Chains A and B, each alone.
Chain A
Amino acid sequence: MNHLPQAWGRPRDDYYGAYDASYFQSNGPNQHTQQPIVTGTSVVALKFKDGVVIAADNLASYGSLARFTDVKRLRTFADTSVVGFGGDVSDMQYLDRLLNSLDTEEAYTSSGHTLNARNLHIYLSKVLYKRRSDFNPLWNQVLVAGLDEEKKPFLASADLLGTTFSAPSLATGFGAHLAQPLLRKVAPDEEAAATLSKEQALEAVKESMKVLFYRDARSMDKYSIAVVTKEGIDLKENEKLENQSWAFADQIRGYGTQVN
């Protein structure tokens, strides 16, 4: 057997045959991300008169498998903003580290100025757009909740294509279909959102999380919820859905045990 260091850890040639060096080629086509792997589902958020409420459950799925059940998908930034991540969890970790280094670099200048939610949203959207233009997207849809430069409530989304959107209520993923209509009922426009109290906004978001848990098979009943106001960020990372009622389940027809 060959004892030379370059053969260490290699399958034995005399047993397995010579290694096919064509696997080792570094030229040729390069494949970027084609799909997310470990994913988080919906993020929902709603503006109210003094701030923004944002929520996401604590599940990271591996396909349809509920793989990680304690994943925190709401990230605070500079004590002024919360970013909610849907989509690929490893890309979320990358973005979280990127925002961390951004925060460190901001601290180099001693101007006392910190990035607000609007700055953060613009930054994230440009990162996402750059990556999609490189055909190497970060597979996320993010909601940025916080206050803008005038300390007014700010809420906007950016996705893996670099598309940006802003509205008094926003939801990503499955939530865009199921939670968004419920939230729009509470706050159809900016004027309506500006009259909402914190309690009303919290109730609407919690109700949306419940509906999402009822109907989204990639969701979970443990979730994180944050309220951003001038007073700061109130982040709770281990909430449980309350007052669930599965009475409607009997009525479901067409799949599962009730085929017809």
Chain B
Amino acid sequence: MTSIGTGYDLTNSVFSPDGRNFQVEYAVKAVENGGTSIGIRCKDGVVLAVEKVITSKLLKPGANKRIATIDRHMGVVSSGLVPDGRHFVSRARDEAASWRQVYKTPITTKDLASRMGGYLQAYTLYSSVRPFGITAIVAGWDSEVELPVDGEVGSGPSIGSGGKVEGKKFGGPALYMIEPSGLYWGYYGAATGKGRQSAKAELEKLDLASGNLSLQDGVKEAAKIIYIAHADNKDKEFELEMTWISNLDGPTKGRHEEVPKDILEEAERLAKKELEGDEDEEETKEEDKPADGDKMEE
């Protein structure tokens, strides 16, 4: 690496002469080694999924969750250093709770992404800290209906709380990805971690921008993408963890919840089936070269 030996990478918050902050770039490397995380913004909800790499056979299956709830309507998943992800979650929960304390209403996903983006960016500025070794994907459903103010007792003005632009649509699904530098963008589909390249390629095939994908299909696609992305990490076992947030009429009623076991298992079954189908095709191709075929089976 060009940075080595130059001295510009030895402390945080220092620019190299060509305008790079190496400590932040190293943090990105930490992310690139973590299990793949993805998020899909569907028309009636958002899905989060993670390839949870099994580091020991002594870990209880299904325990040690990697996707966390920030507020009732919001979840986060991250790739990279797990403890950094935990701290991110803790801070995000504090931000969401303090927002409620001040405004008596749930924080929007956009505002949470902004707060957390600012928080991560601050960790690139001082020599006494290091940047976060995670890229986090934040998903939320911001209520599409007028919410009562927390603790409200009366019905309030009959025209509602006001302050809204006429004819504009408020609320809906939201998906943001926040990087170690503090950079955050809103996405239709987001992927990070080891298998992000193939995951992104799969996400691009879905034409998410047209807003036609339903949440139920999104869950199946998410499972498939994690299974495809796992090909980059094939020597390790993994568990698929998935959560979702639907609209108020949907299965979670605007809350962030785990995808129910039966739906998760069905999505996994379809993902495996599809993947096996692909492998069969490949194997028939490989049959011409029997020497390579043996390698594939290992």
Contacts and interface: CB of A to CB of B under 8 A. Distances in A.
Given A107-B255, A110-B65, A96 B151 contact: yes
A71 B152 CA distance: 9
Q: Which of B97, B153, B154, B255 has the most CB of A within 10 A?
A: B153
B116 interface: no
Task: Please report whether the interface of chain A is mostly helix, strand, loop or mixed according to DSSP.
Answer: helix
A96 B258 CA distance: 26
Given A101-B100, A103-B72, A108 B93 contact: yes
Interface string B132-170: 000000000000000000111111000000000000000
A96 B154 CA distance: 13
Q: Which of B68, B69, B100, B257 has the most CB of A within 10 A?
A: B69
A71 B154 contact: yes
Contacts of A73: 153
Contacts of A108: 68-69, 93
Interface string A9-50: 000000000000000000000000000000000000000000
Given A103-B72, A107-B255, A70 B150 contact: no
Contacts of B150: 96-97, 100
Interface stretch (A86-94, A185-193, A206-214): A86-94
Contacts, number: 46
A104 interface: yes
Contacts of A112: 258
Q: Which of A60, A68, A70, A108 has the most CB of B within 10 A?
A: A108
B268 interface: no
B52 interface: no
B97 A104 contact: yes
B194 interface: no
A92 B97 contact: no
Contact of A72 (B65, B96, B153, B243): B153
Contacts of A92: 153
A89 B152 CA distance: 10
B71 interface: yes
Interface string B49-72: 000000000000000010011011
Q: Which of B155, B243, B255 has the most CB of A within 10 A?
A: B155
Contacts of A71: 153-154
B256 interface: yes
B151 A94 contact: yes
A100 B99 CA distance: 13
A70 B158 CA distance: 12
A68 B93 contact: no
Nearest to B89: A108
Interface string B68-105: 11011000000000000000000001001100100010
A100 B151 contact: yes
A110 B154 contact: no
A94 B255 CA distance: 23
Interface string A82-120: 000000010011101100110110011010100000000
Contacts of B68: 108
Nearest to A79: B253
Nearest to A99: B151
A110 B153 contact: no
A104 B70 CA distance: 9
Given A101-B97, A101-B100, A107 B69 contact: yes
Interface string A146-173: 0000000000000000000000000000
A63 B257 CA distance: 45
Interface of A: 60, 68, 70-73, 89, 92-94, 96-97, 100-101, 103-104, 107-108, 110, 112
29 contacts: A68-B154, A70-B155, A71-B153, A71-B154, A72-B153, A73-B153, A92-B153, A94-B151, A97-B100, A97-B150, A97-B151, A100-B150, A100-B151, A101-B97, A101-B100, A104-B71, A104-B72, A104-B97, A107-B69, A107-B72, A107-B255, A107-B256, A108-B69, A108-B93, A110-B65, A110-B69, A110-B243, A110-B257, A110-B258
